Amino acid sequence: MRRPRFATPLSAVALAAAVAGAQARAEEGAPPERTAAANYILRCAGCHGLSGEGTVVGGVPTFLGSVSALAADDRGRTYMANVPGVLSASLGDAEIAAVFNYVLERWGDGGPVPPFTAGEVAARQAEAVGDIVAFRRDLAERLRHAGVTLADYPWP
């Protein structure tokens, strides 16, 4: 049986650095604290991949060419905070904000997008979005009319 490999050496380096940091904190008697990169690898990469490209077969959209447009839009930020994988990631609001900011730094287009904060994540998760698929569909349609195209999203 073949062992799984990281998609890129950078991903292996990021994971090794995150593990080393957690080990150092544990040796100092402090509880382990994961970096945003480590939380992404542990909580998000299973669906979005180590490269942020998602998977068409799995119905997970890519971050490339899309995540900045979502994060620059008020309703897009609400959508991001309410994606089922985010809600079930077992991360606190500050950790989620840090992961969002990591994703934007890594795969965003560098446009003017305000960073997420813990307070914003909590407030946006408190909003009722109903059917998240319909929410994203409506968001994508509104943005399309404004000239912004989001990544393909295969859900009905």
Q: Which of 16, 4, 9, 114 is nearest to 51 (CA)?
A: 9
Boundaries of every domain in the chain: 9-145
Contact criterion met (CB below 8 Å) for 91 and 72? no
pLDDT averaged over every residue in the chain: 85
Contact criterion met (CB below 8 Å) for 96 and 44? no
Name 102's Cβ contacts closer than 8 Å, sequence gap at least 6. Answer: 36, 37, 39, 40
What is the pTM for the complete model shown? 0.79
pLDDT digits (tens, 9 = 90+) for 17-28: 555 555 554 456
- Largest Cα separation within the chain, whole Å, is 54
Domain 9-145 -> CATH class: mainly alpha
pLDDT digits (tens, 9 = 90+) for 117-148: 999 999 999 999 999 999 999 999 999 999 99
Helix, coil or strand: residue 149: coil
